[in-house]
C-alpha cells in the first residue's frame, strides 16, 4: 500500500493540482480573515480567537476537496487504467485506502501553514497569549476530521462514475448536505423526535462540539463511522464490476 500511497501523493504534488489546492485554501482564508470587511475579519472582530477561521475553512473544503478527489477513480475508469490497477496483487480496500490517505495528507499539508494565523492571533492578543489554546487545538483536530469526511465522500462519488464533473457536483452536494443540510432540516422542519436524530447525523453538530475545547468519545466514534461507511460503500461499488 505504501508504494501506491506515495504514487497517489506524488500525483498531487508533482503536478500543479496539489499546489493550486493549497494556494486557494490559504488565499481564501487569508482574504476572509484579514482583508474582507465582514464578520469573519479577525481585526474587525476585536477578539483573540480563530473562530472565524474554523467556520470558513469547511465551506472552502466543500468545493476544494471534491475538486481533488473527483479524479480518484473517475479518471481511472475513463482511461481504462482501473483494470490494470486491479490486476495488482493488492486488495480493493488497500487501493481505496491509499487514495484516501493521499487525499488526507494533502488536506493536512494545506492546514499546517495556517498555524501562522494562530501565532499572529496569539501575538496580537491583549494580553499576549490570551487565545484559548485548548479550544484551538481541538478545533484543528475537528477541522481535520471534517476534511477526512469530505475526502471519503469524494472518493465514493468518484467510484460511481467515469465523469469527473458528475463526481465533483455529486460530492459537493453530498458533502454539503451531510455537513450542514441535515442540520438545516432539523432546525427549519418539524419532524418531531426525528429532529434530534437529523441533528446528530450532521457533521457540523459534532464539529461544533469539538470546537468547544472538549473531545467527546461520541464525536470521534461519529467521524470514524462516517469515514468507514463511505470507504466500505466505495469498496462495494468497485466490487460490483465483478458481478
Distance CA 206, CA 117 (A): 24
Question: Above 60 in pLDDT, residue 147?
Answer: yes
Contact 103, 68 (CB under 8 A): yes
Helix axes 16-30, 92-111, angle to 10 degrees: 40
Which pLDDT does position 229 carry in this prediction?
97
Cell of 200: 446528530
Which pLDDT does position 167 carry in this prediction?
94
Domain extent, residue 81, equals 2-242
Distance CA 230, CA 222 (A): 13
Q: What percent of the chain has pLDDT over 70?
A: 90
Give me the mean pLDDT over the 84-93 stretch: 77
Which pLDDT does position 15 carry in this prediction?
79
212-241, pLDDT tens digit by residue? 888 889 999 999 999 999 999 999 998 886
- Locus of grid cell 466490487: 239
- Which of 39-43, 114-118, 154-158, 182-186 shows the lowest per-residue confidence on average (mean pLDDT)? 39-43
Residue 81 CB coordination number (10 Å): 11
178-217, pLDDT tens digit by residue? 999 988 887 776 666 677 888 889 999 999 999 888 888 9
Cell of 213: 475545547
Which pLDDT does position 71 carry in this prediction?
85
Q: What is the tally of structural domains in the chain? A: 1
Amino acid at each position: 500500500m505504501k508504494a501506491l500511497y506515495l504514487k497517489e501523493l506524488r500525483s498531487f504534488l508533482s503536478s500543479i493540482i496539489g499546489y493550486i489546492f493549497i494556494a486557494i485554501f490559504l488565499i481564501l482564508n487569508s482574504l476572509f480573515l484579514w482583508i474582507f470587511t465582514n464578520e469573519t475579519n479577525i481585526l474587525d472582530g476585536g477578539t483573540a480567537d480563530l473562530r472565524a477561521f474554523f467556520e470558513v475553512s469547511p465551506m472552502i473544503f466543500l468545493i476544494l476537496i471534491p475538486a481533488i478527489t473527483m479524479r480518484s477513480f473517475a479518471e481511472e475508469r475513463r482511461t481504462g487504467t482501473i483494470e490494470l490497477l486491479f490486476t495488482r496483487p493488492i486488495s480493493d480496500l488497500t487501493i481505496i485506502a491509499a487514495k484516501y490517505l493521499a487525499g488526507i495528507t494533502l488536506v493536512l499539508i494545506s492546514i499546517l501553514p495556517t498555524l501562522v494565523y494562530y501565532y499572529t492571533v496569539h501575538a496580537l492578543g491583549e494580553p499576549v497569549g490570551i487565545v484559548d489554546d485548548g479550544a484551538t487545538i481541538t478545533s484543528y483536530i475537528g477541522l481535520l476530521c471534517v476534511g477526512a469526511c469530505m475526502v471519503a465522500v469524494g472518493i465514493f462519488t468518484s467510484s460511481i462514475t467515469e465523469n469527473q464533473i458528475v463526481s465533483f457536483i455529486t460530492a459537493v452536494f453530498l458533502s454539503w448536505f451531510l455537513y450542514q443540510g441535515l442540520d438545516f432540516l432539523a432546525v427549519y422542519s418539524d419532524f418531531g423526535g426525528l429532529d434530534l436524530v437529523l441533528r446528530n447525523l450532521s457533521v457540523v453538530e459534532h464539529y461544533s462540539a469539538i470546537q468547544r475545547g472538549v473531545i467527546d468519545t461520541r464525536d470521534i466514534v461519529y467521524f470514524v463511522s462516517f469515514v468507514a461507511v463511505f470507504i466500505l460503500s466505495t469498496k462495494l461499488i468497485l466490487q460490483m464490476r465483478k458481478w
